[in-house]
Amino acid sequence: MDLLFTLLVWLLPLPLIAGAGWYFTREHENGLKSITELLGKKWLIIFTTFLFIGTWLIPWGPIFPLAAFMVALRWVEFEEGSNKHRAIITSLGIVGILLGGFIPSTTPLAPDSWGEPLLTENPNAPFYPYSEQYVWILTEPELAAVSVTTARTPWAMNPIGGESAIKMMIATTGADKDRLHASIEALNEQISVNINSDLFELVDIDSESTHHYKRGDIDREMSVTRQQIVMDANLPLITLKADVLTVFEVDWGGETTILTVIRPGLNDNHDVWAEDVVIEWLARPG
In tens, the pLDDT along 89-125 reads 888 888 888 888 888 888 999 999 999 999 998 887 8
For residue 29, CA distances in Å to 25, 26, 63, 118 come to 12, 10, 36, 65
Residues counted in the chain: 286
Residue 219 pLDDT: 95
User: Is pLDDT at 75 greater than 90 in this prediction?
Assistant: no
Burial class (CB in 10 A: 0-12, 13-18, 19+), 255: buried
Q: What is the mean pLDDT of residues 162-177?
A: 71
Range from 80-89, 108-117, 154-163, 181-190 carrying the lowest mean pLDDT:
154-163
d(CA 16, CA 22): 10
Residue 85 pLDDT: 83
Higher pLDDT: 2 or 19? It is 19
Q: How far is CA 86 from the centre of its chain?
A: 29
Range from 10-14, 46-50, 118-122, 261-265 carrying the lowest mean pLDDT:
10-14
Residue 3 pLDDT: 56
3-state helix, strand, coil in the chain (%, to 5): 40, 25, 40
Q: What is the mean pLDDT of residues 177-190?
A: 83
For residue 227, CA distances in Å to 54, 169, 177, 240, 246 come to 32, 17, 11, 11, 8
CB atoms within 10 A of CB 145: 28
Handedness of CA 184, 187, 189, 191 (dihedral sign): negative
d(CA 181, CA 173): 15
Report whether 17 contacts 99 (CB < 8 A).
no
- When pLDDT is cut at 50, 70 and 90, the band that residue 240 belongs to is low
The closest alpha carbon to 151, from 168, 135, 128, belongs to 128
d(CA 9, CA 232): 41
Residue 132 pLDDT: 92
- When pLDDT is cut at 50, 70 and 90, the band that residue 79 belongs to is confident
Range from 71-85, 123-137, 262-276 carrying the lowest mean pLDDT:
71-85
Residue spans per domain, the chain = 2-101, 104-282
Mean pLDDT of the chain: 81
User: Is pLDDT at 13 greater than 60 in this prediction?
Assistant: yes
Burial 105-134 (b: 16+ CB within 10 A, else e): bbebebeeebeebbbeebebbeeebbbbbb
For 4, phi then psi, to 5°, come to: -60, -45
- When pLDDT is cut at 50, 70 and 90, the band that residue 276 belongs to is very high
Range from 28-42, 55-69, 99-113, 202-216 carrying the lowest mean pLDDT:
28-42
d(CA 224, CA 205): 11
Angle at 169 between CA 146 and CA 144, to 5 degrees: 10
d(CA 79, CA 137): 64
User: Is pLDDT at 230 greater than 90 in this prediction?
Assistant: no
d(CA 46, CA 164): 27
The pTM (predicted TM-score) of the whole model is 0.85
- When pLDDT is cut at 50, 70 and 90, the band that residue 162 belongs to is confident
Report whether 147 contacts 182 (CB < 8 A).
yes
Q: What is the mean pLDDT of residues 127-153?
A: 89
For residue 23, CA distances in Å to 78, 132, 164, 175 come to 22, 37, 39, 39
User: Is pLDDT at 182 greater than 70 in this prediction?
Assistant: yes
Give the chain's radius of gyration (CA, Å). Answer: 23
- When pLDDT is cut at 50, 70 and 90, the band that residue 207 belongs to is confident
Q: What is the mean pLDDT of residues 210-220?
A: 93
